[in-house]
């Protein structure tokens, strides 16, 4: 049988992969997407509380595919534990469309200062801070493109750290908000700063075959059953398939990229659903497996040309892994302390809070330093409605003892019926260091017999300082609103769903893996378009930036192929 010719082979199918598949197939090029996970369709997603909290449905079973996590123990020594032994998974949404199927869709742009962290704020001892090789102006038109292509709802308000925008409004109006949003606005104004509406990658109005949000009360961590959420699958891949130029192979785990001895990939080897080893040939290969797995794939693709892993003669693959620094906090509003009509409005299920404060995106305060330092974002949201998660979090008393019987029933009745918890999430820069990186574990293999990724997780103490500062500000706002039981937790433990770095881009091939176009310095036809390219992450969630950069790289590849045709 004659092998089909593909212009582009894309490994992964999430935010970093889908813009490339969409743009290239729309322009007549043949695209093949290899996705390790299954292909769930809209009808497969429900609001099943058990599936989303107690079952490995959207991520691999840990006994089949695990990671090894290295952290410092109480003695200050590095200690490695597998995620199978701890039960703490580092997988995110293994399926067509990746974790974008499950995201909450909080979309903040990075700001101009984020692209020049070293220039603007100077070095920090022990941190590998560098400037990006591109600036905000390079990505701005692509941020705008994502708003329309993926579907972003929101409104802009003027505030002290608002980034430049080429359009004054979003393509879709803001989602319906709970009464508490205005309450946050009022309290912030009283304290002298502005709470801003949060753009969401969720449709407030129907678009084409996609329905608008129906406010199910179960959004984050759940697949969208109305297609309102701007997942890579619905917003881009479905449209790519309709061109007739895009093919998706689900349940296809790529384990090696083969080169021809002269710096060019010729084949992507993968296991199919029946565990057969097959390969795909293409002109250009795009890797977008999410940061850890992208580094792992390159490290596994060793040969005589690249003895330490593909594109890794610099030794930089897997290095400078970053997450999102910060933490969480909350406050409780008891209904019996509120006017009845106010309490009833707070009880309305499904409506969004959609408020953030970026007043401290840059901090000039003697409490931290004698100079300006990079700050961050505080996002406000209600406690997730999933009843199982709520019960698990509240199964112990104030002494840490497990409660049961009538005591448990009484506590659950109070939590579910008599109060509303407002959470906040702090996002700050996770400073890249020598002690946060990906390597291959020497002992543990996955179900195919390949080495699993070992992730060393070392955070910089500066991250805790900034995160704690932001948490105190958020606590003060909750106090001003009248909340009780106010608390926060800032630590060096990373959120596994917010990872980037490992294949940072830059102009020096001895210190970076990719050039400014996200093409590997050492490999003629390899591009990396997930968050791996990011040398620093800004103080926002990464998805919008990953989408935007992938559209930018898609145009670069498109221009390259068009020139070749001409």
Q: Is the Cβ–Cβ distance between 370 and 465 less than 8 Å?
A: no
- pLDDT value, residue 3: 57
How far apart, in whole angstroms, are the C-alpha atoms of residue 431 and residue 176? 36
Closest by CA position to 530, among listed 516, 515, 518, 513: 518
- As given in the structure block, the two tokens for residue 416 are 């579910």
- 117 — phi, psi (to 5°)? -60, -40
Q: Are strands 277-287 and 6-11 parallel, antiparallel or unpaired?
A: parallel
Determine how many CB atoms are found less than 10 A away from the CB of residue 209. 10
Helix (H, G, I), strand (E, B) or coil at 549: helix
Helices 179-191/340-347 angle, 10° precision: 110
Q: Is the Cβ–Cβ distance between 371 and 423 less than 8 Å?
A: no
Domains belonging to the chain, first-starting first, are 6-565 (3.50.50.60)
How far apart, in whole angstroms, are the C-alpha atoms of residue 400 and residue 492? 23
- pLDDT value, residue 144: 97
Q: What's the CA angle centered on 274, arms 271 and 276, to 5 degrees?
A: 45
Residue with tokens 């497990």: 402
- As given in the structure block, the two tokens for residue 143 are 């941020």
pTM beyond cutoff 0.85: yes
Given phi > 0 = left and psi -120 to 50 = alpha, else beta, which region is 417? Answer: alpha
- pLDDT value, residue 1: 39
- pLDDT value, residue 566: 46
Residue 53's alpha-carbon distances to 56, 219, 269, 443, 496, in angstroms, are 8, 13, 33, 30, 15
Q: First CA to last CA across the chain, in angstroms?
A: 30
Give 299's DSSP letter.
H
Within 8 A by CB and 6+ apart from 100, the residues are: 14, 15, 18, 93, 229, 230, 231, 232, 233, 543
- pLDDT value, residue 477: 98
Q: What average pLDDT values come out for the chain (566 residues) when binned by 10 residues?
A: 79 98 98 97 87 76 96 92 94 94 95 97 97 98 98 94 93 96 97 96 96 93 94 98 98 97 95 96 98 98 96 97 96 94 92 96 86 95 88 85 89 89 97 98 97 97 96 98 96 92 98 98 98 96 97 98 73
Helix (H, G, I), strand (E, B) or coil at 436: strand
Q: What's the CA angle centered on 348, arms 344 and 351, to 5 degrees?
A: 145
Determine how many CB atoms are found less than 10 A away from the CB of residue 137. 11
3-state helix, strand, coil in the chain (%, to 5): 30, 25, 45
Q: In the β-sheet with 324-334, what is the strand arrangement from edge to edge?
A: 196-197, 355-357, 376-382, 419-429, 324-334, 484-491
Q: What's the CA angle centered on 249, arms 243 and 254, to 5 degrees?
A: 130
Residue with tokens 């409490």: 367
How far apart, in whole angstroms, are the C-alpha atoms of residue 272 and residue 448? 11
How far apart, in whole angstroms, are the C-alpha atoms of residue 504 and residue 512? 6
Q: Is the Cβ–Cβ distance between 282 and 8 less than 8 Å?
A: yes
- As given in the structure block, the two tokens for residue 430 are 């996770």
Q: Are strands 246-249 and 526-528 parallel, antiparallel or unpaired?
A: unpaired
Largest CA distance in the chain: 77
Distance of CA 11 to the CA centre of its chain: 17
Q: Is the Cβ–Cβ distance between 227 and 242 less than 8 Å?
A: no
- 316 — phi, psi (to 5°)? -100, -5
Given phi > 0 = left and psi -120 to 50 = alpha, else beta, which region is 415? Answer: alpha
Residue 301's alpha-carbon distances to 53, 56, 69, 256, in angstroms, are 34, 28, 22, 5
How far apart, in whole angstroms, are the C-alpha atoms of residue 102 and residue 223? 5
Residue 378 parent element (H or E): strand 376-382
- pLDDT value, residue 55: 65
């Amino acid at each position: 049988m004659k092998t089909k010719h593909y212009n582009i082979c894309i490994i992964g199918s999430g935010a970093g992969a889908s813009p490339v598949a969409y743009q290239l197939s729309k322009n007549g090029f043949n695209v093949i997407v290899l996705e390790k996970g299954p292909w769930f369709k809209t009808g497969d997603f429900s609001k099943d509380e058990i599936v989303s909290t107690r079952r490995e449905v959207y991520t691999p079973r840990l006994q089949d595919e695990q990671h090894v996590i290295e952290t410092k123990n109480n003695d200050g020594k590095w200690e490695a534990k597998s995620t199978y032994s701890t039960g703490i998974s580092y997988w995110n949404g293994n399926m067509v469309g990746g974790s974008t199927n499950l995201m909450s869709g909080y979309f903040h742009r990075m700001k101009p200062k984020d692209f020049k962290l070293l220039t603007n704020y100077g070095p920090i001892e022990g941190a590998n801070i560098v400037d990006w090789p591109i600036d905000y102006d390079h990505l701005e038109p692509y941020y705008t493109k994502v708003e329309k292509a993926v579907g972003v709802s929101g409104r802009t308000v003027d505030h002290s750290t608002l980034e430049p925008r080429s359009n004054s409004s979003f393509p879709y109006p803001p989602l319906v908000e709970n009464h508490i949003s205005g309450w946050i606005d009022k309290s912030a104004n009283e304290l002298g700063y502005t709470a801003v509406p949060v753009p969401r990658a969720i449709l407030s109005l129907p678009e084409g075959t996609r329905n608008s949000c129906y406010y199910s009360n179960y959004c984050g961590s759940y697949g969208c059953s109305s297609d309102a959420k701007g997942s890579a699958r619905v917003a881009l891949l479905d449209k790519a398939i309709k061109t007739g130029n895009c093919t998706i192979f689900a349940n296809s785990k790529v384990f090696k990229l083969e080169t021809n001895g002269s710096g060019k990939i010729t084949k992507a080897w993968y296991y199919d659903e029946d565990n057969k080893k097959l390969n795909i040939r293409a002109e250009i290969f795009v890797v977008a497996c999410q940061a850890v797995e992208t580094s792992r794939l390159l490290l596994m693709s060793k040969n005589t040309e690249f003895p330490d892993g593909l594109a890794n003669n610099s030794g930089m693959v897997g290095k400078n892994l970053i997450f999102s620094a910060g933490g969480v906090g909350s406050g409780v509003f008891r209904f019996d302390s509120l006017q009845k009509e106010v309490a009833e409005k707070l009880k309305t299920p499904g409506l969004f809070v959609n408020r953030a404060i970026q007043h401290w995106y840059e901090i000039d305060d003697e409490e931290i330093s004698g100079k300006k330092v990079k700050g961050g974002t505080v996002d406000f949201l209600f406690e997730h409605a999933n009843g199982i998660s709520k019960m698990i979090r509240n199964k112990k008393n104030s002494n840490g003892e497990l409660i049961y019987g009538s005591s448990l029933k009484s506590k659950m009745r109070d939590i579910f019926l008599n109060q509303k918890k407002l959470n906040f999430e702090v996002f700050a820069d996770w400073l890249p260091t020598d002690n946060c990186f990906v390597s291959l574990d020497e002992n543990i293999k996955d179900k195919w017999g390949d080495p699993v990724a070992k992730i060393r997780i070392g955070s910089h103490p500066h991250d805790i300082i900034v995160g704690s500062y932001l948490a105190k500000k958020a606590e003060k706002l909750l106090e001003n609103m009248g909340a009780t039981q106010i608390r926060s937790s800032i630590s060096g433990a990373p959120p596994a769903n917010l990872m980037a770095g490992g294949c940072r881009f830059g102009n020096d091939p001895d210190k970076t893996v990719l050039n400014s176009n996200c093409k590997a310095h050492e490999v003629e036809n390899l591009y990396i378009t997930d968050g791996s390219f990011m040398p620093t992450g800004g103080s926002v969630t990464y998805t919008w930036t990953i989408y935007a950069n992938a559209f930018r790289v898609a145009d670069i590849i498109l221009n390259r192929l068009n020139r070749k045709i001409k």
